[in-house]
Amino acid sequence: MATRISHLLNQSFSALKYEPTAKRVRATLGGQPVVDTTHALLVWEPRRIVPIYAIPESDVLAELTESAAGPSPVPEDAKVLTPDDAFALHTAEGTVLDVQVPGHALEAAAFRLADPDLDGAVLLDFWAFDWREEEQSIHAHPRDPFHRVDIIPGSRHVRVELEGMVLAESSHPVMLFETHIPPRYYLRPEDVRWDALVATGTSSMCPYKGTANYWAPASGGRDVAWSYAKPLPESAALAGLVCFYNERTDFLVDGKRLGRPKTPFD
């Protein structure tokens, strides 16, 4: 019987998973070295949608001590844990650790995994440190080797509405296909009704695309659109284009109304 790969991946969502990386991985805290290794692991705790770096304890240059703080309880209704969820929400067994370098001490910024296949590996809070893969700074979370982003010019007619009001319309979308995420339609600024939107102070970082800024409806409500003014080089084709949440607005593509997909962003 044939197996659909996405179903196979989803079946492992509740499992503790890992994958070695050949990259040299370094982390610093206030300029002080914390990690320097070529033996890092990418680890997905159960229900986490992005990986976190686990480092052999022998390659952690900071002092690690058992923390007085225990793991934070994971909310019962949390079906998934995203990069916005705190590192302290652990779904694997292990020991919470404090991290200390000269002049800096961070409570509960490390987690020694108890799984025998990951013996000696310590997870580190990505947001607590400055990270580099080889000589490149990385942001938001480590890149997932099983995650792909394709950016392709399109000619589909795209219309975006909210409560019956047109927010944007274009026949020249740049389409982004990203693993586990519905297709995204990036539109030219001139195809957007800016009088229907208002800029918010929201920003987010993506290790594949860069830093995004957001807009909400002028009538009020949650953010519905974003743009990368200065995307990372591999996503340069998105520069200045505007994308709307499929989950929070209504899309008509080539005249066909699409349903709102269910994702962690809806």
Q: What is the torsion angle, in degrees rounded to the nearest 10, for the CA atoms of residue 13, residue 18, residue 22 and residue 26?
A: 100
Matching residue, tokens 């693993």: 179
Q: What's the mean per-residue pLDDT of the chain?
A: 95
pLDDT of residue 72: 86
Q: What is the pLDDT of residue 87?
A: 95
Q: What is the pLDDT of residues 110-164, one digit of tens each?
A: 999 999 999 999 999 999 999 999 999 998 899 999 999 999 999 999 999 999 9
Report DSSP state, residue 232: -
- The fraction of the chain above a pLDDT of 90, given in percent, is 86
| CA–CA dist 105, 3 (Å, integer) | 48
H runs (alpha helix) in 86-159: none
State the pLDDT at residue 71: 81
Q: Is the pLDDT of residue 76 over 80?
A: no
Inform me whether the pLDDT recorded for 184 exceeds 90: yes
In this structure, whether the domain defined by 149-257 belongs to CATH 3.30.465.10 is answered with: no
Please state the domain extents for the chain. 16-138, 149-257
**Two domains, one topology: 16-138 and 149-257:** yes
Model pLDDT, residue 58: 96
pLDDT tens, residue by residue, 50-75: 999 999 999 999 999 999 987 888 88
Q: What pLDDT, on the 0 to 100 scale, is given for residue 240?
A: 98
The pLDDT tens digits of the residues spanning 240-263 come to 999 999 999 999 999 999 999 988
| Helix (H) or strand (E) segment spanning residue 11 | helix 5-11
- Distance CA(85)–CA(129), nearest Å, equals 16
Residue 207, pLDDT above cutoff 90: yes
Confidence of residue 79 (pLDDT cuts 50, 70, 90): confident
> Which residues, other chains included, contact 77 with Cβ-Cβ below 8 Å and sequence gap of 6+?
none
In angstroms, the Cα distances linking 82 to 6, 86, 87 are: 18, 9, 10
Pairing between β-strand 197-206 and β-strand 158-162 as defined by DSSP bridges: unpaired
Dist CA 56 CA 119 (whole Å): 9
Cβ neighbors of 223 (< 8 A, separation 6 or more) are 200, 202, 214, 215, 216, 245, 248
pLDDT score recorded for residue 52: 96
Task: Say which residue the tokens 């490149």 belong to.
Answer: 136
**CB contact at 8 A, 210 and 226:** no
List pLDDT tens digits, range 135-147. Answer: 999 988 999 999 9
Q: Is 68 in contact with 74 (CB distance < 8 Å)?
A: no
Q: Using one digit for the tens of pLDDT, what is the confidence trace for 16-62?
A: 999 999 999 999 999 999 999 999 999 999 999 999 999 999 999 99
Output the pLDDT for position 5: 86
- Assigned architecture for domain 16-138: Beta Complex (2.170)
Within 8 A by CB and 6+ apart from 34, the residues are 27, 28, 60, 61, 62, 99, 101, 124, 129
Confidence of residue 7 (pLDDT cuts 50, 70, 90): confident
Taking Cα atoms as reference points, which of 140, 138, 154, 124 lies closest to residue 53?
124
* Mean pLDDT within 221-243: 97
